[in-house]
Amino acid sequence: MTIEEEIKLSIRDVANFPKDGIIFKDITPIMMNPTLSNKVVDHLVELYKDKEIDLIAGIESRGFLFGYPLAMRLGIPFVLIRKKGKLPYDKISHEYSLEYGTASIEMHTDAISKGQRVLVHDDLLATGGSAEAAAILIQQSGGEIAGFNFLVGLNFLNGKEKLLNFSHNIINTINRVKPSSSSPPPSPSPYNTVPRRTAQTGKSSYRT
């Protein structure tokens, strides 16, 4: 079984979280499987070990889960991009739209130096709002976008289109297609130790 297949089997859909109509892509079953988690990090290292990257920026909070281990394995710094009010030092911020409201992210002013090449990492690419906001913060600090990496890409939401303005190096480990009301329910994951909650099909809003 490929790493892509293992990840697909592990991710579960949670309906109506964090709001009604949202189908949330939950990667916590991966975290409960240390063997698979290590495979994910190994896969990411292979992708980027020979690339010109000076820093990795992870978007709160699931962007920290694999972004930080990847940075440590590559021997480069890791930058935290956090929700408003979570960082203690001088910071810059950017507000962006979600499908269920607005959000603001922040980054320390001394996190990135001019000309440094930064890989942006998060667990999910949906509408692209949070990744686009992160790229704007990085550019405001003088950094360059070396690329974007996501565990899951929801291609039907076209988030990639927002990011092409910053880099054409956009990699999703797996891609999801839009669920159909006639599609059968997903098979239970062998890695899920918590019972799967059935996602409601026909609702096509997702976390950005």
- CATH number, residue 7: 3.40.50.2020
Whether 59 is covered by a domain: the verdict is yes
Whether 124 is covered by a domain: the verdict is yes
What is the model's pLDDT at position 174? Answer: 93
Q: Could you tell me which residues are beta bridge partners of residue 22?
A: 205
Whether 80 is covered by a domain: the verdict is yes
Whether 162 is covered by a domain: the verdict is yes
Whether 182 is covered by a domain: the verdict is no
pTM of the model: 0.83
- Listed in sequence order, the residues at least 6 apart from 195 whose beta carbon sits closer than 8 Å to its beta carbon are none
Distance CA 45, CA 104 (A): 30
Least confident of 53-67, 79-93, 165-179: 165-179
What is the model's pLDDT at position 23? Answer: 85
How many domains does the chain divide into? Answer: 1
- Residues annotated as part of the active site: 62, 99
Whether 186 is covered by a domain: the verdict is no
Whether 146 is covered by a domain: the verdict is yes
Are residues 176 and 155 in contact, defined by beta-carbon separation less than 8 angstroms? yes
Find the domain containing 57 and state its range: 3-176
Whether 204 is covered by a domain: the verdict is no
What is the model's pLDDT at position 178? Answer: 61
Give pLDDT tens digits for 139-163: 999 999 999 999 999 998 999 999 9
